[in-house]
Amino acid sequence: MSPVHAVLASLAAGAIEIHDLTAPLSAETPTLVLPEPFSNLIDFSIEQVSAYNEPGPFWKHHNIHTGEHIGTHIDAPIHWVTGKDGKDVSQLDPARLIGPAVVLDFSAEAAADPDFLVDVEHLVAWQEEHGAFPANSWLLFRTGWDQYGDDKQAFLNLDDNGSHTPGFTAECAKWIAGQPEISGVGVETVGIDAGNAGALTPPFPMHHFLLGADKYGITSLKNLAKLPTLGAMVVVAPLPIVGGTGSPARVLAMVGGNPA
């Protein structure tokens, strides 16, 4: 039996569970809010064109309007100035959009401190306990932040001092970017950087280092609590927008379960 047939047989037998890691996309989806003088993307909206009526008697269809970086989405290298000579979202290597999931559980730390930042020592300690990151891996940063996905105010956690959401130190971002076995990083928050990352050096270090090193970022993930620390496979499916700096994406995880 070929490896592909083995996967298909396992799916048919119920030995593999599929978990959707994607946040529903609607006009209510929480989106990044940049302060002045920066410009924001438009939020997602949907416009009915026909609904089994005169404009289209046998069908229903819509126009959608959205920014690239809305909801669960991928950041391509050209999204950031350090990756401006890199790949757009249509050029991303498909083989790197499927890979082993490494779930980094820092939900307790984020619950205690919404400004919690993962540092290099955290990832070194993780590897000492669990082993090296596998080839072509996606680091999925579990913070429990998906619980706020239906509450824009709590999800963005804004006050007069900015946004307060967890993320990574500049040193950690640089370290991740230098690991050849890592294809990308996924987070449950609105962006791959912490809410206060504009104050770090360099500003927004995950964008700066990760995208500059031809790695990818996924945001606004859900259901990471359903995944094991190791052993799941993640599938990232963005739209191949020519010239696109990113795209809303469907993100699925396959996890070995018990046959039905």
Q: DSSP state, 192?
A: S
Write out the two tokens for 216.
Answer: 């990818």
* 87 contacts: CB under 8 Å, gap ≥ 6: 76, 77, 78, 93, 214
What does the mean pLDDT of the chain come to? Answer: 96
Q: Is the pLDDT of residue 86 over 70?
A: yes
pLDDT at 258: 54
Digit-coded pLDDT (tens) for 116-135: 999 999 999 999 999 999 99
SS3 (DSSP) at 51: strand
Q: What is the average per-residue pLDDT within 50-73? A: 98
Q: Which of 19, 73, 79, 208 is catalytic?
A: 79
Side chain identity at residue 257, one-letter code: G
Q: DSSP state, 220?
A: S
Query: Of 36, 70, 54, 92, whose CA–CA distance to 216 is shortest?
Result: 92
Query: Of 208, 253, 259, whose CA–CA distance to 232 is shortest?
Result: 253
Query: How many whole angstroms separate alpha carbon 88 and alpha carbon 78?
Result: 6
β-sheet bridge partners, residue 235: 98, 252
> Confidence band (pLDDT; 50, 70, 90) for 260?
very low
pLDDT at 247: 98
Q: What is the average per-residue pLDDT within 92-100? A: 97
Write out the two tokens for 170.
Answer: 């500049």
Q: Is the pLDDT of residue 40 over 70?
A: yes
> Is the Cβ–Cβ distance between 137 and 181 less than 8 Å?
yes
Digit-coded pLDDT (tens) for 144-160: 999 999 999 999 999 98
Q: Is the pLDDT of residue 1 over 90?
A: no
β-sheet bridge partners, residue 253: 19, 234
Share of the chain above pLDDT 90, in %: 94
Which domains are assigned to the chain?
Answer: 3-256 (3.50.30.50)
* Length of the chain counted residue by residue: 260
pLDDT at 259: 40
> Confidence band (pLDDT; 50, 70, 90) for 213?
very high
Share of the chain above pLDDT 70, in %: 98
Query: How many whole angstroms separate alpha carbon 44 and alpha carbon 66?
Result: 4
Digit-coded pLDDT (tens) for 185-195: 999 999 999 99
Q: DSSP state, 92?
A: S
Query: How many whole angstroms separate alpha carbon 254 and alpha carbon 33?
Result: 32
Q: How many CA atoms lie within 13 A of 165 on its CB side?
A: 31
> Is the Cβ–Cβ distance between 1 and 228 less than 8 Å?
no
Active site residue 79: yes
Lowest-confidence region among 12-16, 168-172, 175-179, 200-204: 12-16
> Confidence band (pLDDT; 50, 70, 90) for 3?
confident
Classify the phi-psi angles of 59: left when phi > 0, otherwise alpha if psi is within -120 to 50, otherwise beta: beta
